[in-house]
Amino acid sequence: MTTDDRTDGPECGLEGAALIGDFVTRLPGKPGVYRMIDDKGDVIYVGKARNLKSRVANYARGQGHNNRIALMIALTRNMEFVTTTTEAEALLLEANLIKKLKPRFNVILRDDKSFPYILIAKDHAVAQLAKHRGARNRKGDYYGPFASAGAVNQAINTLQKAFLLRSCSDAIYANRKRPCLLHQIKRCSAPCVGLIAPDDYAALVAQAEDFLENRSQAVKAELARAMEQASEAMDYERAARLRDRIQAMSFVSQHQGINPQGVAEADVFALAQEGGQFCVQVFFFRAGQNWGNRAYFPRADKSLAEAEVLQSFVGQFYDGKPVPKLVLLSHAVEDMDVLSEALSAQAGFRVEVAAPQRGEKRMLVDHALTNAREANGRRLAETTSQAKLLAGVREVFGLEDTPQRIEVYDNSHIQGAHAVGAMIVAGPEGFEKGEYRKFNIRGEEIAAGDDFAMMREVLTRRFARLLKEEGEGTGAGRWPDLVLIDGGQGQLSAARTALAELGVEDVVLAGVAKGPDRDAGREHFHMAGRPSFMLEARDPVLYYIQRLRDEAHRFVIGSHRARRSRAIGQNPLDEIPGIGPTRKKALLQSFGSAKAVARASAADLAAVAGVSRGLAQAIYDHFHAGDA
């Protein structure tokens, strides 16, 4: 339980250590979380404490701190406090606030994408094997996480071979008249056409669940007995099928790399630091199997101790994610017991947090640590290469400084329909996908296929919002150093017009026009005040700009296709107030299509069950609103 203890404000004019000392006089000696706030009202640091009064008093001394903490104290103009019942609750609240507020001086977990899971869905009489990502809103059993879509796909392939569970959607299942290809290649038992009895299929589902819950040896033994019985009964075809299923299960353990014998369920975290950059490698072990790994590069001050970074990372990592029974760390963190208590409270069962020093668990940690060091080395090499490319971009486009933010814009449509604009962002760390934006073209006066008008709308909306955020004090650091437009002189002129109308004059604009016959490598570059130019065919900067343009094209095409798919799935009847699923179904059954409904008279519409005369007239008016 937490309580928001907003202490009385500081005396007017106090700042830094003096301000913090003023707050200390009114703080309780309880567990809690504190927030340090700068002169703009932004939270610059979130911390937790076993004793708020004692912890915050350390900042009030004003001396004996490293440069990072000294700067943090000097920038503090206000503080806020929340007391909690226990230190474990404070740790969880601290992690939540850090992820939400992203304070400047905290360790920030980046690239926090959701993980895929295996789902045995049970919202149908015949259970379905599926890959799942996102909210767990389907009835069934979830197994994971898996580090990547590739890892979960491989696991599903194995489960299909070993247990012959269906993976098709309910709609496809309901309309099958004969077995599909998966049955022919021995990956499905074809319950859709009754080739397996419901009880026998339920037994397959139970065996798959046992396998995913680390009871694979019992399943193998059961299948081996059944294979022997089939062989003795000279049912060699069934015996061969059972043999193939056993081999599919064995294949998993033979190709896992590290496949622990004494660790059934655990997450392994290993942190490596080099060149002021941190890398945390996370390995997932479930059902005694390695379900993949993922590298993270948290934002953290290089002066922080590795154990401190790791503790903050783990606390944020499990916000909104399921927790395993065992968490192994490469470094012993200061509040190991508190972290264990917090994760246990979140999971609803006891979670052990340990930094093993010997044995198999230490081998798992060492393997993760090796991967963390290698990933960090690759990232540093990429960063160095990226820095050289950005320096080349500065020279090519005549920028004053090396660009920290490059924005690339592109449009996509089919004869003006479902038009979408898109912006991608790149910087010193590569593509910044969290900054990507798409723009559904809304301008009604834009003629179909008018690419120039579409580009004007996109840039007007983007930079108008940027100006507004800057006026509100929330847009710092988001201005681009270079804007690249996919197109030639015409697109560049449209972009310049849009920015000029907003009064934006200090953004460098360049158009990237494809070469003759859209030949990559012969692009022409257009900029205001200088003739168009080309780069040498093997110039690394040219390759880099091509990658930026291709990424923008990929993103805008994906957005366009998604919008077009949604439009295809829409029905004109959905736009009419009073038409729900039941009446919509009745209308379509009576007339055959939405077009036929649109052509029907009000009297014919009123003859449909559930449609009153008033609603029939409303439907008729909806489709004939523009008639004279």
Q: Report the pLDDT value the prediction gives residue 350, as an integer from 0 to 100.
A: 93
The predicted structure's pLDDT at residue 519 = 55
Query: How far is the C-alpha of 474 from the C-alpha of 465, rounded, in Å?
Result: 11
pLDDT surpassing 70 at residue 328: yes
3-state SS, residue 36? strand
Under a CB-based contact definition with an 8 Å cutoff, are residues 56 and 27 in contact?
A: yes
Q: Which residues lie across from 486 on neighbouring strands?
A: 512
Chain centroid offset of residue 569 CA: 25
Q: Between 568 and 393, where is the model more confident?
A: 393
- pLDDT per residue as tens digits for the range 543-552: 899 989 889 8
Candidate ranges 2-16, 149-163, 354-368, 408-422; pick with highest mean pLDDT: 354-368
CA distance 249 to 272: 35
Mean pLDDT computed over 141-145: 84
The answer to whether 271 and 366 have CB atoms below 8 angstroms apart is no
Q: Would you state the pLDDT for residue 379?
A: 84
Q: Report the C-alpha gap between 517 and 329 in whole angstroms.
A: 55
pLDDT digits (tens, 9 = 90+) for 188-240: 999 999 999 999 999 889 888 887 877 766 777 777 877 888 788 887 777 87
Cα distances from 506 to residues 479, 502, 589, in angstroms, run 10, 12, 60
C-alpha span between 579 and 296 (Å, rounded) = 49
Give a three-class secondary structure readout of 60-117.
HCCCCCCHHHHHHHHHCCEEEEEEECCHHHHHHHHHHHHHHHCCCCCCECCCCCCCCE
Report the share of the chain in percent with pLDDT over 90: 30
Q: Decide: 371 and 270 in contact? Cβ < 8 Å.
A: yes
- In our burial notation (b when 16+ CB lie closer than 10 A, e otherwise), range 475-487 reads eeeebbbbbbbbb
Higher pLDDT, 1 or 571: 571
Global model pTM greater than 0.85: no
Mean of the pLDDT values across residues 105-111?
A: 84
The pLDDT of residue 14? 80
Rounded distance between C-alpha atoms, residue 615 and residue 587, angstroms = 12
Which amino acid, residue 21? G
Question: Would you state the pLDDT for residue 448?
Answer: 60
Dihedral angle, C-alpha 467, 471, 472, 475, nearest 10 °: 50
Q: How far apart are CA 126 and CA 486, in angstroms?
A: 50
Please say whether the dihedral angle defined by the alpha carbons of residues 344, 350, 351 and 356, taken in this order, is positive or negative. Answer: positive
Q: Identify any residues that bridge with 120 across adjacent strands, giving them in sequence order.
A: 129, 141
For the chain, give the percent of residues with pLDDT over 70: 87
Residue 240's alpha-carbon distances to 186, 236, 244, in angstroms, are 11, 6, 6
Q: Are strands 43-49 and 78-84 parallel, antiparallel or unpaired?
A: unpaired
Instruction: Give yes or no for residue 557 having a pLDDT over 50.
Output: yes
Per-residue pLDDT for 319 more than 90? no
- pLDDT value, residue 567: 56
- Separation of alpha carbons 324 and 418, rounded Å: 45
Looking only at the bridges linking them, the beta strands covering 326-329 and 266-274 are parallel
> What does the pLDDT look like over 473-524, one tens digit per residue?
444 457 899 999 988 888 899 899 999 999 888 899 999 987 655 555 578 8
Average pLDDT, the chain: 84
The answer to whether the peptide bond before residue 145 is cis (omega within 30 degrees of 0) is: yes
CA separation for the pair 299, 429 (Å, rounded): 12
pLDDT tens-digit readout, 24-64 = 988 999 999 999 999 888 999 999 999 999 999 999 886 77
Q: How many residues does the chain have?
A: 628
